[in-house]
Amino acid sequence: MQFVRLGESGLIISRLGFGAMTFTAGDATLASIYKVDEALADRMVSRTLEAGVNFFDTADAYANGQSEELLGRLLKGRREAVVIATKVGFRTGPALGQAGLSRRHILWSAEQSLRRLGTDRIDLYLCHKEDPFTPLEETLAALDELVRAGKVRYVGFSNWSAWKAAAALEIQKARGYAPFVTGQMHYSLVGRDVERDVLPMMRRYGLGLTVWSPLASGFLSGKYRPENLGDPANRLAGFDILPFDKAWGFQAVDRLREIAGARGCSPAQAAVAWLLARAGVACVLVGASKLPQLEDNLGAADIVLGAAEIARLDEVTEPAAVYPNWFIQRLIDEPQRVALSGQVS
Ligand SMILES: NC(=O)c1ccc[n+]([C@@H]2O[C@H](COP(=O)([O-])OP(=O)(O)OC[C@H]3O[C@@H](n4cnc5c(N)ncnc54)[C@H](OP(=O)(O)O)[C@@H]3O)[C@@H](O)[C@H]2O)c1
């Protein structure tokens, strides 16, 4: 297993992380996701630790808090060896204020997460989504308060637009607040929107990207065909949130099969290895509903794709540049570009 410092922080995490979104103690509000009971979760956590993974991700909202509870219990006794990330922002109860990124909800939810995880501090606390109803300054002050109180070690965002994260980082710098060290964002061969603005923003601010749904909810494992997309045994039948066109996605799967077949790995491993090779990607969060899937995904740690394989994968889903990116690229000053061999500030 390889390790990396998360952004410019001193937090060291494995390049593969484990996502505990599938863990449940019976909650079935999202039954196509929450499939892993305590016995299986125990085996998954043990196998993940054995593979050298030290980074575990959950959220207050997963299975109504049961994911945090199970993960905390299974990591008991190993607390010093692992880095635990959890999140706040989604609705966690019926009261109006039990959602979002207000000071009130963040401070309350952090206490609930600490209790459920059975720990006295959260290593990495992430805002799970943007909150359009709370001033950004209030959210950032609340996060900083948690860090100063010793309840949280590092903070980050998830599913935020680049402009809002950049605005937040400037506020954090100006006020001496604990800065965001990561963005946890969706990135996959069929979901490359972060290449447009989020990754360039992260490079500018020295943040490391942690990737969610690296297999596009399992689609890139190659187990889907047009005729079994609705198979109730699989995630996509019940929870299909990623907005990519499936016919276009199957072209990417074919290319993954080709690359994987030639080097004797699985399409899932090739998909994760492609992400691990992307500039700015610190860590890829793997998830699973079955042990063989976990085994498959952990195997990606041993795959280093060559430049030709990466180029073959890049080209199959190369995103079209949107404005103003196409303007910037097409009208770049040519003498300077040549003189600097493509180095950018
Ligand atoms: N910040 C956020 O908003 C956000 C959002 C989503 C996830 N996350 C985090 O990211 C983690 C990973 O996300 P994800 O679970 O969506 O990742 P993913 O790898 O895209 O999808 C995982 C699902 O795909 C299927 N699968 C996984 N590996 C497979 C394999 N090798 N062969 C066949 N099927 C396979 C399984 O579902 P089935 O067997 O049920 O089909 C598994 O539960 C989560 O656990 C969570 O911690 C964060």
Instruction: Find out whether the beta carbon of 297 lies less than 6 Å from any atom of ligand 1.
Output: yes
**Where are the strands (E) in the chain, listed by range?**
3-5, 12-14, 16-19, 55-57, 83-88, 122-127, 152-158, 180-186, 208-212, 281-286
Amino acid in the structure at residue 72: G
Q: What is the structure's pLDDT at 235? A: 95
Q: Which residues of the chain have pLDDT under 70?
A: 342
Counting atoms of ligand 1 from 1, which one is nearest the CA of 158?
1
Closest C-alpha to ligand 1, atom 46: 19
Contact between 202 and 183 (Cβ < 8 Å): yes
Ligand 1 test: best mutation among 32, 45, 193, 235, most atoms within 8 Å of CB? 235
Distance 215 CA to ligand 1 centre (A): 7
Could you tell me whether strands 208-212 and 16-19 are parallel, antiparallel, or unpaired per DSSP bridges? unpaired
Residue 336 sits at φ, ψ, to 5 deg, of -70, -40
Q: 148-173: per-residue pLDDT in tens?
A: 999 999 999 999 999 999 999 999 99
Distance 155 CA to ligand 1 centre (A): 23
Distance (Å, whole) CA 221 – CA 296? 9
Instruction: Find out whether the beta carbon of 156 lies less than 6 Å from any atom of ligand 1.
Output: no
Instruction: Find out whether the beta carbon of 288 lies less than 6 Å from any atom of ligand 1.
Output: yes
Q: How far is CA 47 from CA 19, 53, 231, 281, in A?
A: 13, 9, 28, 24
Could you tell me whether strands 122-127 and 152-158 are parallel, antiparallel, or unpaired per DSSP bridges? parallel
Q: What is the structure's pLDDT at 343? A: 77
Q: What is the structure's pLDDT at 161? A: 98
Contact between 221 and 188 (Cβ < 8 Å): no
Residue 179's nearest CA partner among 161, 167, 162, 196 is 167
Distance (Å, whole) CA 137 – CA 127? 13
Active site residue 62: yes
Peptide bond into 324 cis (omega under 30): yes
Distance 268 CA to ligand 1 centre (A): 11
Instruction: Find out whether the beta carbon of 64 lies less than 6 Å from any atom of ligand 1.
Output: no
Distance (Å, whole) CA 94 – CA 249? 37
Q: What is the structure's pLDDT at 341? A: 85
Q: Terminal CA-to-CA distance of the chain, rounded, Å?
A: 31
The C-alpha angle 207, 201, 322, rounded to 5 degrees, equals 145
Closest C-alpha to ligand 1, atom 26: 218
CB neighbour list of residue 331: distance below 8 Å, 6 or more residues apart: none
Which residues is 283 bridged to in the sheet?
210
Q: What is the structure's pLDDT at 15? A: 98
Closest C-alpha to ligand 1, atom 4: 212
Closest C-alpha to ligand 1, atom 15: 287
Q: What is the structure's pLDDT at 146? A: 98
Distance 152 CA to ligand 1 centre (A): 26
Tokens 């079994």 correspond to 228
Q: 225-241: per-residue pLDDT in tens?
A: 999 999 999 999 999 99
Token digits for 45? 């956590």
Closest C-alpha to ligand 1, atom 14: 213
Counting atoms of ligand 1 from 1, which one is nearest the CA of 35?
40
